[in-house]
Amino acid sequence: MKFKILLHLFLSLIFVTARGQKQQIKTAFKELRGGFPERALIAISNLDYKILNATDVEKADYFYIKGVSLQMIAERKTEKKTSLASAVKAYEDLLLTEKSTQIFKYSDVVKATLYDIKRKMVKDATRYSKDKNYLESASKFYEIYQLDTEDNIYLYYSALSYLNGKNYSLALKYFVELKKLNYSGKVTSYYAINKSSGKEDKFFSRKDRDESINLGTHEKLSAEMEDPKKENILKNITLIYLLTYSTDNAKQALMDLYVKNTEDRSFSLAELKLYIETKDYLTFKKILIERVAVNPNDAHLYHYLGIISSMLKNKEDMKSYFKKTLEINSSYQFADVEKLTSYSEAIKILNN
């Protein structure tokens, strides 16, 4: 008897709860149609922890209302600080729900919406960068990366924008992350013809390009490989260490960079000055001698050995190395190291 009473109470509670959920969703839709997304979110706020027990249709309705409301709020000009990422999360939850239930009420519309959102975010991030609003651009690119962490190119753009915006800590964090991911930096840009404009649009990923074709807005497939950026990642890590006076890290990064490309001279003067500033003459002389053994006809290396020898008050070695420099290249231009600093060289590299 007691069991029957408890069962009756339980079923009654489920019935009342279900009716309440339906009413809240109905109210939210009404507010949404009236153009009040904030009110719509309030109407479904009590469902946040109950939605797992709702019907399949109600779950889809809930995530749809949440996604549309957050998107409307984010896209208002007066709500610039509101992120579209939260709307995307709600839409993705909706797609997962409909995929698991096999009841496809909103999926087609939401897929098209997600595509438009990502395109808009990329456009905004690019515009901020062109306007030299680098920190806003970096934040936007990182939001895009968080939508799909397999699209590492957006993490690269975020790191680069933070570097240009002089937020060195976040720039370094993301460049190091890219290095750990062994990001190759090879970017394949995909192209398709925009049916409405007749012009060729560029896409950063095949997924984005294919979605636009499936939606019927674009046609014609093509792809083009761009220059690799892996070396740029190592250079930027080195650059940040120089700009932040992280001398030990900078020295190691410069060594790594030289090993990757012995012909690259972009950091050679910065490296020379860094060892002079830290008075680490013997260490750098040893490094230079090792490099000369591999590249015996490199005038730069003999020039730097001459400078370091002068710092060590070894005039005979200095004369010998400078003489060797001119033997290799009679028109060699000797650097005025008195006017150099590792920081000023880093700034020059950054500005170029």
Q: Concatenate the DSSP letters of all residues of 38-83 into one string.
A: HHHHHHHGGGTTTGGGS-HHHHHHHHHHHHHHHHHHHHSGGGTTS-
Q: d(Cα 166, Cα 163) in Å, to the nearest integer?
A: 5
Separation of alpha carbons 146 and 161, rounded Å: 16
- From 162, 178, 179, select the one nearest 170 (Cα to Cα): 162
Please name which of 140, 130, 27 lies closest in space to residue 81, comparing C-alpha atoms: 140
pLDDT one-digit tens code per residue, 25-68: 889 889 989 999 999 999 998 887 777 777 888 888 999 999 99
How much is the pLDDT for 351?
Answer: 84
279: region left, alpha or beta (phi > 0 left; psi from -120 to 50 alpha): left
Q: Which of 136, 128, 130, 131 is nearest to 162 (CA)?
A: 136
Distance of CA 64 to the CA centre of its chain: 28
Position 107: which residue type? S
From the candidate CATH numbers 3.30.230, 2.40.128, 1.10.3470, 1.25.40, the one assigned to the domain spanning 265-351: 1.25.40
Read off the pLDDT of residues 107-117 as tens digits, 9 standing for 90 and up. 999 988 888 88
**Pairwise CA distance, residues 55 & 197, whole Å:** 43
Please compute the mean of the pLDDT values over residues 205-225 and round it to a whole number.
Answer: 74
Q: What average pLDDT does this structure show over 219-234?
A: 69
Question: Do the strands 200-203 and 218-225 form a parallel or antiparallel pair, or are they unpaired?
Answer: unpaired
Q: What predicted TM-score, i.e. pTM, was given to this entire model?
A: 0.75
- Backbone conformation region of residue 220, classed left if phi is above 0, alpha if psi is from -120 to 50, else beta: left
Q: In the 3-class helix/strand/coil scheme, how is 310-326 assigned residue by residue?
A: HHCCCHHHHHHHHHHHH
Amino acid at 159: A
Q: What is the C-alpha end-to-end distance of the chain, expressed in Å?
A: 85
Rounded distance between C-alpha atoms, residue 284 and residue 25, angstroms? 70
Listed by start position, the domains of the chain span 1-104, 190-220, 265-351
How many CA atoms does the CB half-sphere of 183 hold within 13 Å? 26
Give tens-digit pLDDT for 296-335.
999 999 999 999 999 999 999 999 999 999 999 999 988 7
Contact by Cβ (8 Å): 203, 209: yes
Tens-digit pLDDT profile for residues 185-195: 666 677 888 88
Each residue of 156-176: pLDDT tens digit?
999 999 999 999 999 999 999
Could you report the per-residue pLDDT of 78-109, keeping only the tens digit for each?
A: 555 566 888 888 999 999 999 999 998 999 99
CB neighbours of residue 185 within 10 Å:
17
The tokens for 69 are: 């409301």
Confidence category of residue 206, pLDDT binned at 50, 70, 90: confident
Instruction: Identify the top-confidence range among 187-201, 223-237, 244-258.
Output: 244-258
CB 285 within 8 A of CB 312: yes
pLDDT for 288 beyond 80: yes
Pair of tokens at residue 310: 């002068």
Give the Å distances, CA to CA, from 164 to 39, 110, 131, 297: 40, 35, 12, 37
